[in-house]
Amino acid sequence: MLYMLLIYSQETEGGPSHDVAEQAIQAHQAFMDETRDKGVLRGLAALRSTASATTVRSRDGKKITLDGPFAETKEQLAGYYLLDCENLDEALEWAKRLPSSCKGGEGCVEVRPVSDFPPPMV
């Protein structure tokens, strides 16, 4: 079954220091390599900052666009991994190993099963 590991973290002015960013890149690269080697990695992406986001909302039956995310929160969605796991327990074990999981209040990982939809009719 496919599970999406949604990574949430706190954005900071100017971003992390070079050393912190480099450590995070190396830790995620190791995680990517391991999930790829185990055959469970199906996709991943890092998201740009919320300053680059645009939200589409419905108001009174009309669609409007707004700069930025739709809600003010302390943590923002930073990226995701899509893993093919046997069950939720396996997905949770992978989530615990992510470098940006809930360690020291620096962020968290939400694990959600992905619904199976029939392929679109072409």
Query: What is the per-residue pLDDT across 21-69, written as a single tens digit (0 to 9) for each?
Result: 788 889 999 999 999 999 999 999 988 888 888 888 888 888 888 887 6
pTM here is 0.77
Residue 34 lies inside a defined structural domain of this protein = yes
Distances (CA, A) of 47 to 6, 56, 87, 88: 11, 17, 26, 25
Would you state the structure tokens that stand for residue 32, as one six-digit string?
Answer: 């990517």
**Residues of 18-43 as b/e, b for ≥16 C-beta within 10 angstroms?**
eeeeeeeeeebeebeeebeeeebbbe
**Per-residue pLDDT, 36:** 96
Q: Find the CATH number of the domain harbouring 104.
A: 3.30.70.1060
Residue 71 lies inside a defined structural domain of this protein = yes
Would you state the structure tokens that stand for residue 2, as one six-digit string?
Answer: 């496919």
The residue with greater pLDDT, 52 or 12, is: 52
Residue 53 lies inside a defined structural domain of this protein = yes
Number of structural domains found in the chain: 1
**Per-residue pLDDT, 91:** 95
The residue with greater pLDDT, 83 or 50, is: 83
Residue 120 lies inside a defined structural domain of this protein = no
Residue 122 lies inside a defined structural domain of this protein = no
Residue 75 lies inside a defined structural domain of this protein = yes
Give whichever of 6-20, 56-70, 81-95, 108-122 has the largest mean pLDDT. 81-95
Backbone angles phi, psi at 8, to 5 degrees: -115, 140
| Residue 99 pLDDT > 70 | yes
Q: How confident is the model at residue 103 (pLDDT cuts 50, 70, 90)?
A: very low
Residue 61 lies inside a defined structural domain of this protein = yes
Give me the domain span that covers residue 56: 2-113
